[in-house]
Structure 1
Amino acid sequence: MGIKSLFSDRIRRIWNVWEVRALLQLSLLIQIILVIFGTRRKRDPRILIKFVIWSAYLSADWVATVALGNLANIQEGKNSNFIKTNKILQFWAPFLLIHLGGPDTITAYSLEDNELWSRHFLSLVVQVGIAVYVAIRAWSFTPLTFLSIPVFLTGIVKYGERTYVLRSASSQQFKKALLSANPIAEYALMRMETEGFERKIQMKKAWKFQAGHSDRKEFQLYLDAYFLFNRLQYLFSNLLLSLSERTDCYDIIHSKSAKDAFALVAIELGFMYDVLFTKATLVYSLWGILLRSISFLSSVAALTLFKIFIDPHQKDVSFTYSLLAGAVFLDLSSSVKLVFSDWTKLRLIQKQNPLINRILDAIFYIEGRLINRKIWSTGQESVSNYRKRWSESMAQYNLISYCLREMQTKGQFSDIEKLPYIRQYFQEYHHLTWEDVNDDLKEAIFKQLKEKAEKMEDSYTINLCKELLAQRGDYVLEEKYELEELKWSTVDLDFDHSLLIWHIATTVCYEDDFAEKAAEDAEGSGSGEAKKPGDTTESKDAKEGHQKGNISKFLSNYMMYLLVLCPFMIPEGVGEIRFRDTCADVMQLFNKERCSMVEISRKLLEMVYRRSISQSVLSDGCKLAKKLRWLESDQKGWNREEKWKMISEVWIEMLTYAANNCGWKDHAQQLCKGGELVTHVRLLMAHLGLSEQYNERERFMV
Structure 2
Amino acid sequence: MIPLVLSRAVFLKRGMLQKSVIKLNELLDGHELRSLIIFSLICQVILVFLGDHRKYSPKVRIRALTWSAYLMADSVASYALGMITNTVALIDNENENENASTYPIENITMTLFWAPFLLLHLGGPDRITAFSLEDNELWSRHLFSLFNQMIAIVIVFSIAWDESRFYKLSMLMMVPALIKYGERVWVLWAASSDHFKNFVPDLQPDHSRIMEEYKLKEIEGHKLIQLTVNKVHKVMRTHVEADLKSLEEQPSSEKLYRQSQFELLAARGLVDIFKRIFADLLLSFDEYATSWSVLKGKNFLVVFRVIEFELGFLYDLLYTKALVIYSRVGLFLCFLSISVILVVLILFTFTHKNQLFSSSMFDINLSYALVVVALLLEIYALYGLLLSDWTACWLINHKWFGFMKLINWFRPLHKRRRWSNQIGQYNLLSVSLKEKQSSVCHRVLGFLLGVDKMPVVQKHLYKTHEDVNDHLKEFIFKQLARDDQRRDAELPSPWSKICYHFRNSNSLDNPGDSHDEGTESRRTISKCLSRYMAYLLVMHPSLLPSGTRRIKYQDTYATGMRFFEQHTKDKRHKIKMTEACDLLLRQVENEEKHTIPKGQTSKLLWYNGCLLASKLHDIANEKKRWTAVSEVWVEMFAYAASKCDASDHAQQLRRGRGLLTHVWFLMTHFGLTDYFKIQNVPAIADMIVK
Partners of 2:450 and 2:369 lie apart in 1 by 40
How many angstroms apart in 2 are the aligned matches of 1:692 and 1:162? 33
2:625 corresponds to: 643
1:65-118 CA deviation, whole Å, 9 max, x = no partner?
A: 011011111113367543634323211111011000000010001000111111
Instruction: Indicate if the aligned counterparts of 1:114 and 1:167 stay in contact, CA closer than 8 A.
Output: yes
CA–CA distance in 2 between the matches of 1:278 and 1:40?
Answer: 12
1:557 to 531, 538, 557: 531
Question: Which amino acid in the other structure matches residue 236 of structure 2?
Answer: G
Q: Distance in 1 between matches of 2:68 and 2:422?
A: 25
Q: Residues 394 and 677 of structure 1 are in contact (CA less than 8 Å); yes or no, is this contact kept in structure 2?
A: yes
- The answer to whether the aligner puts 1:297 opposite 2:333 as a matched pair is no
Aligned equivalent of 1:27? 40
Cα distance, 1:546 vs structure 2 = 1.4
1:57 pairs, out of 47, 70, 74, with 70
Quote the Cα distance in structure 2 between the aligned partners of 1:291 and 1:162: 13
Equivalent residue letter for 1:45: P
Structure 1 position 241, deviation (Å): 1.7
Separation of aligned partners in 2, 1:542 and 1:450: 25
| Partner SS for 1:172 | coil
Structure 2 distance, partners of 1:481, 1:259, is: 33
Paired amino acid for 2:416: R
| Aligned equivalents of 2:166, 2:452: Cα separation in 1 | 50
Establish whether residue 659 from structure 1 lines up as the match of residue 641 from structure 2.
Answer: yes
What residue in structure 2 maps to residue 89 of structure 1?
Answer: 111
- Distance (Å, rounded) in 2 between the aligned partners of 1:140 and 1:542: 85
Of 114, 118, 123, 2:136 maps to 114
Moved more, 62-71 or 683-692: 683-692
Once structures 1 and 2 are overlaid, which stretch shifts more, 406-415 or 141-150?
406-415
Count how many residue pairs are aligned between Structure 1 and Structure 2: 596
Aligned CA distance change for structure 1 residues 423 and 691 (closer, same or farther; 3 Å): same
**Aligned pairs for 1:353-432 within 5 A:** 356-368=400-412, 383=413, 385-405=414-434, 408-409=437-438, 412-413=443-444, 416-418=447-449, 423=454, 426-432=457-463
Q: What is the aligned partner in structure 1 of residue 600 from structure 2?
A: none
- Residue 279 of structure 2 is matched in structure 1 by 237
Distance in structure 1 (CA, Å) of the matches to 2:329 and 2:518: 55
- Distance (whole Å) between structure 2 residues aligned to residue 44 and residue 423 of structure 1: 27
Match of 1:166 in 2: 188
Match of 1:608 in 2: 588
Q: CA deviation at 1:286?
A: 0.7
Pair 1:450 & 2:473 matched: no
Partner Cα distance (2:334, 2:450) in 1: 46
Q: Please tell me whether the aligned partners of residues 97 and 155 of structure 1 are also in contact (alpha carbons under 8 angstroms).
A: yes
Residues 1:584 and 1:317: Cα distance change in structure 2 (over 3 Å): closer
Q: Please tell me the residue identity of whatever aligns with 1:50.
A: R
With over 3 angstroms needed to count, the CA separation of the structure-2 counterparts of 1:452 and 1:60, relative to structure 1, is farther
Task: Summarize the alignment of residues 68-79 of structure 1 with structure 2, pairs less than 5 Å apart.
Answer: 68-77=81-90
Partner Cα distance (1:208, 1:647) in 2: 39
TM-score (ref. length: structure 1) = 0.79
Q: 1:481 to 1:393 in 2, by over 3 A?
A: farther
CA distance in 2, matches of 1:85, 1:652: 69
1:41 is matched with which residue? 54
* Cross-structure match for 2:471: 440
Q: Which residue of 2 aligns with 1:374?
A: none
Give how far 1:679 is off. Answer: 0.5
Q: Structure 1: how far apart are the matches of 2:366 and 2:453? A: 40
- Show structure 2 runs of 5+ residues with no match: 1-16, 92-98, 207-226, 244-257, 566-570, 597-603, 685-690
**Post-superposition offset of 1:317:** 2.1
Amino acid at match of 1:607: Q
What CA deviation, in whole Å up to 9, does each residue of 1:598-636 have, x standing for no partner? 11111000012244485422211111111111111xxxx
User: Is the contact between residue 422 and residue 659 of structure 2 (CA under 8 Å) also seen in structure 1?
Assistant: yes
| Contact persistence 1:407–1:587 (CA under 8 A) | no
Match of 2:670 in 1: 688
Structure 1 residues 477 and 362, CA gap change in structure 2 (3 angstroms): farther
| Separation in structure 2 between the aligned mates of residue 578 and residue 318 of structure 1, nearest angstrom | 56
Pair 1:103 & 2:85 matched: no
Provide the residue aligned with 2:379 in structure 1.
332
Q: One-letter code of the match for 1:262?
A: F
Greater shift in the superposed pair: 615-624 or 386-395: 615-624
For residues 455 and 264 of structure 1, do their structure 2 counterparts lie closer, same or farther at Cα, with a shift above 3 Å needed? closer
C-alpha offsets along residues 140-169 of structure 1, whole Å, 9 cap, x if unaligned? 397622222221121112111101000000
> Offset of 1:347 from its aligned partner?
0.9
Structure 2 residue 591 is the aligned partner of structure 1 residue 547: no
1:379-415: per-residue Cα shift (whole Å, max 9, x none)? Answer: xxxx4x4012111100001111111227834993465
1:226 aligns with: 268
Structure 1: runs of 5+ lacking an equivalent? 186-202, 369-382, 457-463, 487-536, 633-637
Between the aligned partners of 2:549 and 2:117, the Cα distance in structure 1 is 50
